[in-house]
Amino acid sequence: MKKVLLIVALAFLSTLGFAQTAATKPAVTIYNPKANAQADIDAAVAKAKKEKKHVFIQVGGNWCIWCIRFHDLVDATPALKELLNKNYETVLLNYSPENKNEAVLKKLSYPGRFGFPVFLILDGDGKLIHTQ
């Protein structure tokens, strides 16, 4: 019996030599949980009003794969990036366990009920004109 246990233990230990550790990706930090979302929105609205633009708010978090994919798509698509930069002031509004920004999202009619990412368009006066 001792021989069987020894053989099983050696067989198990020999497989450890072939184990591979998964390469870890660096953490994605598109959204800043420590950001003051209301101040960011207020600044974007003021700038949008001055430049006759709208405000594009993307609500999501670093945990949200679709939020990250959309952000990467915009970065990788020059025409889309130019369209957003030309017509909108952009705000990335964090929603995460560290900071749910509940007061700000309440003012915006709780857009998270639609899932994430959620996109909001404000006019130059800060009025919500579209949620998707």
Chain segment 7-33, per-residue pLDDT in tens: 544 455 455 555 555 556 667 899 999
Q: Answer yes or no: is pLDDT of 80 > 60.
A: yes
The dihedral over CA atoms of 30, 60, 124, 90, expressed in degrees to the nearest 10, equals: 20
Inter-CA distances, 99 with 22, 36, 45, 95, 114, Å: 30, 10, 22, 6, 19
Beta bridge partners of 119: 58
CATH class for the region spanning 37-131 = alpha beta
Task: State residue 28's pLDDT score.
Answer: 80
Task: List the domain boundaries for the chain.
Answer: 37-131
Instruction: Please write the tens of the pLDDT for every residue from 18-74.
Output: 555 555 666 789 999 999 999 999 999 999 999 999 999 999 999 999 999 999 999
Whether the Cβ atoms of residue 41 and residue 91 lie closer than 8 Å to each other: yes
131: β partners = 120
What is the torsional sign of CA 73, 76, 81, 82?
negative
